[in-house]
């Protein structure tokens, strides 16, 4: 072999020894490909514990498939079509599932698409406001899709409400739960959503109390448009909470493609808390309907009172008109035409009739 060739072959090894590292170590220190902006977090979990770092989702999925009791959790927020298509190719999602994950406004549901289970939940958040008006936004809703596979779980969140960072931090503190696999993440997300429902319900209850006080106060300052706006927000909140009962019952049915037995009891606790949230939201809806009906009845009574007042004053004015009309006919032969005090007598008769009618209407409650 030529001397120059041997020197070239020895050069990489010499450089490596000078730098104090091996070739695999060099490759490990090379910059890795970054995750897209839509990726909130990506991690590999082995035996319920998070592996260090935040790898690219493709690398993380490859690592999870090589290990035992490992899975990857990829969190996305409002991903674009290109990002979601790339994620679909990496994790083997079909086109319908990818298209479903790109849109929001879904109804809570659970279904099986091939080897992937799709669980859809609605998110909810309370919008703080100093004063409730006829344009106030009370409840902000969105949705989160949980895609469950054998070695992965993908959460796709749409909207500002329902951030999952707290969910990840909390569930990572319970390795025994995470060791159950991807369904542990689905449990944590469901539990967080139900907790948010109960939290929002507490805030909405205070708004309802203030609306009820304004309706039944003496000044009755509640605007009907304000009540309709609050009713619309409660109905939107109701659409987020009530439909989740059916998917949770499906999870608890004990199907083979459902959660492992160790998690079904935890899902049962989530279902019990969801039942409390459903009862509260349904009660709020009924209460607000009663408040609206009461306010409409008050408006009808107020309008009736106004009509009675108008009728009473019209009757008083009609008496004066009748007297003036009689004495304004200018007949030649009429009583009191030649009377010296006829003019003042007619005015006195008008005043007496007006005072008498006013007293009678006041006594009967018309004025």
Residues in contact with 126: Cβ distance below 8 Å, sequence separation at least 6, in sequence order: 138, 139, 140, 199, 200, 203, 204
Cα 291 to Cα 229: distance, rounded to the nearest angstrom: 13
Give the helix ranges, DSSP H, for the chain: 3-19, 23-29, 57-66, 81-91, 95-102, 165-172, 175-178, 182-216, 224-241, 245-251, 261-327, 342-364
Task: Please state which CATH number belongs to domain 305-364.
Answer: 1.20.58
31-299 adopts what CATH topology? Answer: Beta Polymerase; domain 2 (3.30.460)
State the pLDDT at residue 56.
92
DSSP state of 38: T
The four Cα atoms 37, 90, 72, 23 give a dihedral, to 10 degrees, of -90
Domain borders along the chain are: 1-30, 31-299, 305-364
Q: Do domains 31-299 and 305-364 have the same CATH topology?
A: no
Phi, then psi, of 254 in degrees rounded to 5: 80, 30
The four Cα atoms 68, 69, 70, 74 give a dihedral, to 10 degrees, of 150
* pLDDT tens string 148-192: 998 999 999 988 777 888 899 999 999 999 999 999 999 999 999
State the pLDDT at residue 19.
36
pTM above 0.85, yes or no: no
For the record, the structure tokens of 302 come out as 């107020």
Residues in contact with 107: Cβ distance below 8 Å, sequence separation at least 6, in sequence order: 120, 122, 243
State the pLDDT at residue 365.
79
In the predicted model, residues of the chain with pLDDT beneath 50 are 1-31
Cα 186 to Cα 121: distance, rounded to the nearest angstrom: 10
Q: Which of 172, 123, 169, 175 is nearest to 146 (CA)?
A: 123
Distances (CA, A) of 192 to 121, 133, 150, 273, 274: 11, 30, 23, 11, 11
Cα 171 to Cα 178: distance, rounded to the nearest angstrom: 7
Q: What count of Cα atoms within 13 Å lies in the side-chain half-sphere of residue 325?
A: 6
Phi, then psi, of 147 in degrees rounded to 5: -105, 115
For the record, the structure tokens of 338 come out as 């030649």
Helix (H, G, I), strand (E, B) or coil at 115: coil
Cα 305 to Cα 308: distance, rounded to the nearest angstrom: 5
Q: Which of 285, 197, 195, 289 is nearest to 241 (CA)?
A: 197
Helix (H, G, I), strand (E, B) or coil at 33: coil
For the record, the structure tokens of 331 come out as 């007949």
> Phi-psi bin for 117: left (phi > 0), alpha (psi -120 to 50), beta?
beta
In this structure, is the dihedral angle defined by the CA atoms of residues 325, 330, 335 and 340, taken in order, positive or negative? Answer: positive
Q: Which of 104, 108, 123 is nearest to 246 (CA)?
A: 108
One DSSP character per residue, 283-301 reads: HHHHHHHHHHHHHHHHHHH
Q: What count of Cα atoms within 13 Å lies in the side-chain half-sphere of residue 172?
A: 14
H helix or E strand, kind and range, residue 124: strand 116-126
């Amino acid at each position: 072999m030529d001397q120059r060739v041997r020197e070239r072959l020895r050069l990489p090894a010499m450089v490596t020894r000078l730098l104090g590292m091996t070739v695999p170590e060099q490759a490990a220190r090379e910059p890795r490909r970054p995750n897209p902006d839509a990726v909130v977090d990506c991690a590999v979990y082995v035996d319920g514990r998070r592996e260090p770092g935040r790898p690219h989702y493709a690398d993380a999925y490859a690592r999870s498939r090589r290990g035992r009791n490992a899975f990857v959790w990829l969190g996305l927020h409002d991903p674009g079509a290109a990002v979601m298509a790339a994620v679909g190719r990496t994790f083997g999602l079909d086109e319908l599932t990818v298209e479903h994950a790109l849109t929001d406004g879904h109804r809570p549901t659970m279904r099986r698409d091939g080897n992937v289970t799709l669980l859809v939940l609605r998110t909810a958040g309370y919008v703080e406001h100093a004063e409730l008006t006829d344009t106030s936004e009370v409840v902000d809703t969105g949705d989160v899709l949980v895609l469950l596979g054998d070695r992965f779980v993908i959460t796709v969140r749409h909207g500002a409400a329902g951030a999952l960072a707290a969910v990840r931090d909390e569930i990572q503190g319970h390795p025994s739960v995470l060791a159950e696999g991807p369904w542990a993440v689905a449990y944590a997300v469901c539990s967080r959503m139900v907790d948010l429902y109960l939290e929002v319900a507490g805030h909405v209850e205070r708004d309802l109390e203030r609306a009820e006080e304004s309706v039944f106060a003496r000044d009755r300052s509640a605007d009907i448009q304000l009540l309709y706006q609050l009713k619309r927000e409660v109905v939107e909140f109701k659409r987020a909470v009530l439909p989740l009962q059916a998917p949770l019952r499906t999870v608890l049915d004990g199907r083979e493609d459902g959660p492992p037995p160790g998690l079904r009891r935890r899902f049962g606790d989530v279902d019990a808390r969801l039942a409390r949230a459903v009862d509260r939201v349904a009660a709020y809806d009924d209460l607000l309907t009663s408040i609206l009906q009461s306010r409409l009845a008050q408006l009808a009574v107020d309008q009736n009172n106004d009509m009675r007042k108008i009728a009473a004053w019209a009757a008083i004015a009609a008496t004066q008109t009748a007297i003036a009309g009689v004495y304004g006919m200018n007949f030649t032969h009429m009583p009191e035409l030649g009377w010296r005090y006829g003019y003042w007598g007619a005015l006195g008769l008008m005043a007496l009739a007006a005072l008498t009618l006013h007293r009678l209407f006041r006594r009967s409650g018309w004025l």
